[in-house]
Structure 1
Amino acid sequence: MANNKLSLIADLKNSFAPWRIKVRVFKFWEGIDPKTGGPSGLDYIFMDEQGSRIHGKVLKFNRERFVHKLEEGKIYILSKISVCHAEQMYRPTRREYMVFLNASTVVQEINEINGFPKYSFDFVKLNTLAEHKDNVFLNDIIGIFLDSSDVKIVKDNKIIREIFIQDDTTANVRVVLWGDLANNFVKPTNLSDKPIFILSSTSADFYRVTQRYSVSSRESSNYYFDLDIPEVRFLKNSQIEVGESSGGIDWTTNNRKTITAMLDDYKPNSPEVFYTCTARYSNFEGKYTYPACAKCTRKVVRTGGTLKCPRCTTPQSITQAIVSKISIHDISGTCIVSLFGNKAAEMLSIDLEELLEYEQLGVNLGDIFEQARGTDYIFEVKMSTYQDNMSLAINRTKVIHSIPDDDGPLDNEANNDDPPSFGMVSIKQEKDDDELQSNPQAYDDDDGNKHKVIHDIQDDDENKTDIAPSFRMVTIK
């Protein structure tokens, strides 16, 4: 007679008992075989009616049997499962054991059950990350969402996005999302609602550049916003002053160096390092373009005769991305850095679309960068090795002081604090410049005031020719 007894996750032991459990699939992910690059086995986090969680696994040779049988969020009865000791490192749950679904396992989907938990977490406080750095299991974290970065490409073309959160200990922590989590992250639109961010199955890491602990996602991680659970309601209703921690999320002081000290730190082929420095724009050193994905601006590669983005899974249109090279200087020295299009636009406080339009019209980008002259910036500089040479790229910028022109406003003019911007002026050339008088006439009026007369260019209908309009950059106060 079959044993129909249901066991709780807390009762599972490493034995030959015919285990049978009723669980919700809390998380599903599929690993990649490092040797072939293809799919390996299937991994799950199962959760029972008491909220206990356990790691479940299907080995590669059983993959096809189970790949479409279990769906994240649904409830199942799993019969004839094997229970073994959990893997030694990066366990996605705190259980000592894990379960294997094998060729004998029977999967039975059941209807939703009222009161069966949908979520379960083992949260750690953000000010205790140092205590959890060497845990064999992964941790869940929760905090008030403060800010997030754009997607970044790091070593080995891996994708990350930085999230910054704060919990009731007032500790501010950097959270790093990797891969699909980084790509698919949706930033909250209204921070005044105090969005509460949760990331499950994380590891604690010590970041040597900032000398602080951060949190990283793993394959088994999921992120959530504003779940209906007690911990979220507590933070929502708390009177915590957001950002009051002295740690903050201010990147502008991280690994601060002078330019010369930064260059002296370079070691060929060492891992990329981020520095910050206070410097000014010196000169425009040139630019180049490359074919890029219109969605993520990553360089496209030729595959099977067509250009494709190596990051985006769906076809995207191809555009031309701009990389500008500029020199910057401080009191110690000078260096040349690269700025990708969006970083250049950020530095110049203009839209990327506007910068691309100038490029398409043939405007000299050096003219546009002139508006940065005389401004003190804090730059975050990424140092790496590219083709056996040192590579420096601007990652972030912040204006700290803008120096006005030497010729200030006249006494009878209003002082306009707005920085100069660039506008496009269409000019129709109808006579050569050398036809104009180089020295305009001057005369005094009856009141003794001096005036200058510039000869107007008159239309000559008989000799008029159609000349295409050209564009000139003018500085507009």
Structure 2
Amino acid sequence: MSEVFTPLCDVDPMSERIKVKARCVSIWHSHAPDKPTPVWSLDCVIQDEQGNRIQCTIRKDDMPKYEGLLQEGVCYRISNFGVGENGGKYPLLKHKYKIVFYKNTALTRIDSFDQNNKGFKFEAFTDFVPGRINEADTVDIIGTIVSLGDLIPFNNHGMTSRRRILQLEDVEGNQLECCFFDGVADKFNQCTSKRESSGHVVVIVQLGKVKYWNGKPSVGLHLYSSKIYVNEDLPEVTTFKQRYKKKDCQDENEFKIALFSPTTYVLTPKNFFKGATKKIVGAIRDSYDEYTCVIYAKVHKIHKEYGWYYPACKKCSKRATLSDASASGSKASGSGGRRKFWKCDTHGQLNGVVYRYKIIVRVIDEFGSASLVLFDNMVHKLLNDTPCWELMEKYHYAAEDVFPSEIDVIVGKKMLFKFSYTEFNITNNNHVYQVKMLSDDREMISVFKEGFLSVENEEDQELDKQAKDVAALSGPDSDNVDGGEFVTPETVKWAGKTSEGMFGYSDDMKSLKAISGGSAGDGSSGSGKRNIIDLDEFNEEEYDAKRAKQPDGENQPEVQVKIEKE
């Protein structure tokens, strides 16, 4: 009579005296991050003939008995075990339960039940959409590298780390992004130096972790369980290369790995001014309704009393706050103080945070002044791509009121600011506005002034040739800022000329027209000569006689009253 084995998907706490038959896919020791000792447990992932997976845990006291018996790629019959909840903050698999070894758990080696010795279970790249493959799911993927990025250093809780992004392509031509860190990222150094001669470099990620950034999927590695194979001598790699070569009859000798560069957004006058009304600073509050506007103003001062950075959630970039647990705990590496525990209103408890720029500046033009909020990506560009963590390190994670002198270079810059005047500003009489885009590009400024402002000054003529355009994709009422870069092309010809019908002139400019004699949008002071008359010396009869001698219809000189200070 043949043995009856329970599929791993049916393992639950109510089952008794069940036996399973499965292959060991991955083995690892669980311990605290960056602290290999003490070891908490010996863990493994097993997979049955149907491709179902479950995690097994062997407690520290029982590790000596099983550590020498378990091997990756080997099949086993397992019986007399317990079933526990697959809990923890970040469970590896979606299975609700896990197998727990007892001291008397029977672990018997058996013959392989298939030829899939590594236990791969590859997912199609087209399935990487929310609903099919969700964030934090564990997946196996295979693909060839089509583009490879350089190592990018970054700050990781006070320590310098590095990451690398690459693009994999499957045999159907679908692409998927992967992101690897530190030692794993270094595996691709040779490929980077030999992009044009490496040929097809096939990568397999087993038990990888899925993340979605702005809806775009990315695969990385779990802390201990994931495995990565780069051009290794495996049947799966050989088969993939053969299938990929048949795609469009590609010659491997002619295949070159491209340099990966993040997708950039080209900012043009058309999309910068889209849906916006041109305004002078003094007229921002003139409306009783919500609207989006663009102003041209100079940064007068920085409100240093409000700080220059904030701790942000890594997932949504919203402000993170210290949890009650921060009062106790071990000392944090790199900070010199006790370890801090953070929480996010959206994502709850956090393992860590990132620090992002957030500064409030006072801008000014000839008609008024206003306070604007600039977030991380904007300040990053204005400081010549200096990341926030770099200044944090330089100033030893000092308090927010310790203001870096490097940020003072923003003061005096004159540029365009695009933001929304919202219902919140109106009802709460709160007139600090969150900037959505900014630009000091000459062409952008010319478009703004066209038909609106005609007065030039020397400062405008000395604008920096290295113009930058930055945009925050967040809405006006959120604290999150996306990390996308915005680039202004050197030559962009805008087909649609600025007109009153396109952007709409504000009432303040129409009033200027009445005063100056120019058009509502040209900002001209008029061509008529102005006479300043001291009323104490003014001879009214003589003045009336001169006016009577002038022909009808001729422009009369304007009179500006001079008022003496008391």
TM bin (shorter chain): 0.3 to 0.5
Could you say which structure has the higher helix fraction? 2
RCO higher in 1 or 2 (8 Å CA, sep ≥ 6)? 2
Could you say which structure has the higher strand fraction? 1
TM-score (structure 1 length as normaliser): 0.47
Bigger radius of gyration? 2
TM-score (structure 2 length as normaliser): 0.40
